[in-house]
């Protein structure tokens, strides 16, 4: 039986080859569905329902759909976003997702502005949330922004771009890449001394800095991995609750605020 998927983040890049550095050939907007043609350990080769365009997507960015759910969405009424930015509330997580124009809100009820994807409930907001200029408030504005190699905005961002933009708004200049950012700021030697806004850097087996995130408190970190997300954080690194394993190994913590 065919397998299907949908985007539950604002924009998913579709690439020519199964690699983050590969050319982006199109994008999947929120609510757009696709058929999975081929699977690799990290990547899916997909065909979009809307225009039949094909390409590779990072599998951790997509939501899988059953055959029945796919056809329910395909045959049910939907709402197409028309404003520059439309805010929707993820009711189950109590998180805001900001969408560009052209997104699809499937199974949409015009009477109460609610819709759902599988068992996931959403509410289209009438007004956008106001910005909060403290570091935690700024970080949470980017929640669910999709990961995009080289990206620096809420519609596509990478880990070091996320950190750089947040700190730019706060009036602090950071270099672009995590391997450069790690050389800035004051080293924090003990987990018990960390505060909101400190930067945590992570390395690979060869000791190369490969990832960075912003610490929210002594147990949580916000970072761009698949999407901007909040995960558990401790002296070992980042623990992904969904995958139930450590995904990044902690190297060093720096303070710039």
Between CA 154 and CA 232 the distance in angstroms is: 22
Model confidence pLDDT, tens digit, residues 111-134: 999 999 988 999 999 754 444 468
Mean pLDDT of 33-49: 96
What is the architecture of the domain spanning 135-255?
Alpha-Beta Complex (3.90)
Query: Structural domain boundaries of the chain?
Result: 3-124, 135-255
CATH 3.40.50.880 fits 3-124, yes or no: no
Quick one: DSSP state of residue 23? P
Token pair, residue 6, equals: 């949908």
Which distant-in-sequence residues (6+ apart) come within 8 Å of 221 by Cβ?
200, 213, 214, 215, 230, 231, 232, 233, 238
Model confidence pLDDT, tens digit, residues 185-240: 999 998 899 999 999 999 999 999 999 999 999 999 999 999 999 999 999 999 99
Residue where the block lists tokens 């009477």: 111
**Exposure b/e, 235-254, CB count within 10 A at least 16 = b:** eebbbbeeeeebbbebbebb
pLDDT of residue 108: 95
Model confidence band, residue 257 (pLDDT cutoffs 50, 70, 90): confident
Query: Can 3-124 and 135-255 be said to share one CATH topology?
Result: no
């Amino acid at each position: 039986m065919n397998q299907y998927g949908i985007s539950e983040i604002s924009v998913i890049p579709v690439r020519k080859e199964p690699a983050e550095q590969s050319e982006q050939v199109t994008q999947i907007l929120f609510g757009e569905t696709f058929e999975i043609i081929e699977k690799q350990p990290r990547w899916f080769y997909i065909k979009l329902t809307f225009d039949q365009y094909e390409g590779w997507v990072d599998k951790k960015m997509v939501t899988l759909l059953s055959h029945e759910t796919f056809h329910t969405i395909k045959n049910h009424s939907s709402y197409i976003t028309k404003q520059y930015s439309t805010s929707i509330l993820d009711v189950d997580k109590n998180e805001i997702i900001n969408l560009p124009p052209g997104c699809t809100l499937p199974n949409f009820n015009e009477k109460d502005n609610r819709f759902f994807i599988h068992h996931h409930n959403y509410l289209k907001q009438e007004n956008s949330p106001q910005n909060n200029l403290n570091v935690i408030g700024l970080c949470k504005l980017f929640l669910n922004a999709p990961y995009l190699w080289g990206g620096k905005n809420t519609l596509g961002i990478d880990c070091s771009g996320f950190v750089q933009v947040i700190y730019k708004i706060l009036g602090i200049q950071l270099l672009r890449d995590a391997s450069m950012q790690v050389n800035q700021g004051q080293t924090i030697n003990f987990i018990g001394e960390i505060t909101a806004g400190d930067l945590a850097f992570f390395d690979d087996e060869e000791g190369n800095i490969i990832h960075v995130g912003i610490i929210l408190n002594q147990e949580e970190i916000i970072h761009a991995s698949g999407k901007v997300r909040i995960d558990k954080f401790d002296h070992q690194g980042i623990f992904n609750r969904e995958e139930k394993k450590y995904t990044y190994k902690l190297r060093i913590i720096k303070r710039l605020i």
